[in-house]
């Protein structure tokens, strides 16, 4: 079960690095526009906010990776709970699919971590 938990946590880390890259560096590119369903003007107007959001996603990834390297279950769970909360909030305020893309993998990682 620990291997599954670590694998799910690794998935969450990689996903959040991807979110960071999309939000910080690709927000105004054709790929970023298509991914987030924004017009070029909307993306330009919100690129500073998106970069800030991307930074937070990168920090979550870094903290979770650090928790995995340190084998710190309390830190792992704390970061995963933060990811779930952010995902639920994002789903409630921005786009429902965030619940499945961000919160669900973290919730599964929490479950697997607690079961291991």
Residue 32 confidence (pLDDT):
96
What confidence category does residue 21 fall into, taking pLDDT thresholds of 50, 70 and 90? Answer: very high
- For residue 49 the two structure tokens come to 């906010």
> Concatenated DSSP letters for 33-62?
HHHHT--HHHHHHHHHHHHHHHHHHHHHHH
User: How many angstroms separate the CA atoms of 3 and 87, rounded?
Assistant: 24
pTM of the model: 0.93
Confirm if 110 and 80 have CB atoms less than 8 A apart: yes
Mean of pLDDT over the chain: 96
Residue 68 confidence (pLDDT):
96
Residue 48 confidence (pLDDT):
97
Q: Where are the domains of the chain?
A: 2-115
Query: What are the percentages of helix, strand and coil residues in the chain, rounded to 5?
Result: 85, 0, 15
39-48 average pLDDT score: 97
What confidence category does residue 14 fall into, taking pLDDT thresholds of 50, 70 and 90? Answer: very high
Residue 93 confidence (pLDDT):
95
What confidence category does residue 60 fall into, taking pLDDT thresholds of 50, 70 and 90? Answer: very high
């Amino acid at each position: 079960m620990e291997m599954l938990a670590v694998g799910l946590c690794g998935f969450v880390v990689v996903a959040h690095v991807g979110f960071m890259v999309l939000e910080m560096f690709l927000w105004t590119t054709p790929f970023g526009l298509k991914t987030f369903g924004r017009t070029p003007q909307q993306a330009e107007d919100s690129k500073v906010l998106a970069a800030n959001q991307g930074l937070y996603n990168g920090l979550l990834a870094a903290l979770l990776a650090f928790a995995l390297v340190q084998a710190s279950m309390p830190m792992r769970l704390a970061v995963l709970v933060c990811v779930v909360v952010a995902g639920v909030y994002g789903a409630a305020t921005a786009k429902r699919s965030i619940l499945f893309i961000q919160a669900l993998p973290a919730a599964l990682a929490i479950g697997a971590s607690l079961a291991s």
